[in-house]
Structure 1
Amino acid sequence: MSGTPLLDYDRYLDILEHEGGLLAASAEAADHDRPIPGCPGLDIGETVRHVGSVYRTVVSWIRAGDRPTSWQRQPLGDQTVEDYLRDGLRALLGELVTHHPDEPCPTWDPAQHHYGFWGRRMAHESTVHRIDVQTAAGGEIDLVEPEVALDGIDEVLRLWFTHRLSVLGVSGTRRGTVALKAGDRFWVATLGPVTTKATRATAAEAETADASVSGDAVELYLWLWGRRAVFDRSLTLEGDLDISSQMWALLRLATR
């Protein structure tokens, strides 16, 4: 599956800035102890702290040239978790905006050692966790634009299903294929004891899969991230349901 993103670098930085700021603002108006439905064990306050910590991890990783072992993991003194996140966001944007997306830098994907990787990854990290916080808070959930969701589908299939599962050495028990369909985009995921990968596909290629999951791009994006149940009614699941549910379960291991 090609690692070429579906959006340009400046768009990712705009998404990152918008979603990070919205995440902090949404948390400020909410009870920090409210649990995150899609992430058992996490609450709103811990989710905001986690994202602020991830921002700092990336900045340290880029500057040090290797995966960091230490960074500011918690707010200091009377700093709120929201301000902790905002400070980390400013530092991350300041680092990313001064570099070309093709410029080399360290990442955790051997095929994507460039700044573009972090722009895309952090845009989706911020978007998914912003939705987590707003969902937990029980208020209005801001929309995700369809083209952003389509890019997010592509990223989770490329980076997490294909790459991360390979690194973990995790595979399925039954061989099969699942077509993913949203908008005018198609992907086919192959899973089983030997191969776990996803590729962009044509409509004709998608029709040959053993199972299919289709629907609104945002709903499919959230399904792949485990923010929707395996048999969620907002999506249409057809064909071999055991294969599509196995794919969903494998992604829970990849993205946890």
Structure 2
Amino acid sequence: MKALVDYDRLLDTLDIEATVLAETVDDARPELRVPHAPGLTVGETARHVGSVYRMTLEWIRTGDSPASWQREPGPLQSLRDFVTSGARALVDELARHDPAEPCSTWWAADSTYGFWRRRVAHETAIHRGDVQEAVGQPVADVDDDIAVDGVDEILTLWLGHRLTVQGVVGARDGSVAVTTGDNAWLVRITTGGIAAWRVPLTELDRADAVVHGLPPKVYRWLWGRLPEGAVRKERSPEAINQMWALLRMATR
């Protein structure tokens, strides 16, 4: 499933977001809690992101899901360096490969190096916002094109694919259209399965409910990082609430 933004943009986003995250972590108390991610702290966020970089690099190099990798900073290694060094090694490795080149991933619809550019860029952007919010800084919005691609990723990969692999289905039948700018997706949830795909704006009438807003707002709201009022909702609250609950299950 091809990204909606250039893959070099995604690699640059990964690099920049990792730098901002590391710098923010360096000036913060590790025990500070992330407001919209219950149970997560600044220190845990930095360790998680640095671990993801190393897990991804090991997966790319071995061609399979790794059994072990460095998950914690080494002796005398700061959280900032743990994030920065992991990001640098991963960005350098990804830059050596064409995004279309085949590579082992956890999504059959995209077994390319481009998958990892996209996946880790969004992982980093969301957690960069977490640490900025935790330390009381304004959370900088990603650019609209990156946000739109992130909306596509969370709906098609996390909600539509990950829950299907886990055998999760809906408690009732319902559909939600998610729109931002000139882009739209239809999420269909049934007692038999879950699917999400891109649709023309003309197909919004097919949905039981609609969620819409500015790209960065919809992006962060879908990841559970913004309150209910950050987006506009129409029609069936039940359909939207079910999608919301399933998103939290998909992304935990």
**Offset, 1:161:** 0.8
User: Partner amino acid for 2:234?
Assistant: E
1:1-256 correspondence to structure 2 within 5 Å: 3-229=1-227, 232-256=228-252
Secondary structure at 2:172 match in 1: coil
Aligned letter for 2:212?
S
Q: For residue 74 of structure 1, report the CA deviation from its aligned partner.
A: 0.8
For structure 1, which segment, 53-62 or 197-206, has the greater mean C-alpha deviation from structure 2 after superposition? Answer: 197-206
SS in 1 for 2:191: coil
**CA displacement 1:149-188 (0-9 Å, x = unmatched):** 1010001111001100101111111111101011111111
One-letter amino acid matched to 1:250: L
Q: How far did 1:202 drift?
A: 1.2
Secondary structure of the structure 1 residue equivalent to 2:193: coil
Distance 2:44 2:104 in 1: 27
CA distance in structure 1 between the partners assigned to 2:138 and 2:175 by the alignment: 36
Quote the Cα distance in structure 1 between the aligned partners of 2:201 and 2:88. Answer: 41
Per-residue CA deviations over 1:103-157 (Å, capped at 9, x if unaligned) read: 1111111221110000000110000000011011111222211111101000111
Equivalent residue letter for 1:150 = V
TM-score normalised by length of structure 1? 0.96
**Matches of 1:186 and 1:82 in 2, distance apart?**
38
CA deviation profile, 1:214-253 (whole Å, cap 9, x unmatched): 1111111111111123xx1121111110110100100111
Determine the C-alpha separation between the residues in 2 that align with 1:97 and 1:223.
30
Matched to 1:65, the amino acid is: G
Distance 1:142 1:223 in 2: 14
For structure 1, list consecutive stretches of 5 or more residues without a partner in the other structure: none
Task: Flag as ranges the 4+ runs of structure 1 deviating above 6 A.
Answer: none
**Which runs of 5 or more residues in structure 2 are unaligned?**
none
Matched letter for residue 252 of structure 1 = R
Identical counterparts, % of pairs: 47
- Distance in 2 of aligned mates of 1:39 and 1:234: 16
CA–CA distance in 1 between the matches of 2:88 and 2:62?
A: 18
Number of residue pairs matched by the alignment: 252
CA distance in 2, matches of 1:74, 1:181: 39
In structure 1, how many angstroms separate the alpha carbons of the residues matched to 2:76 and 2:68? 21
Using the alignment, how far apart are the partners of 2:170 and 2:35 within structure 1?
26
Report deviation, 1:208.
2.3
- The CA distance in 1 between the partners of 2:63 and 2:163, in whole Å, is 24
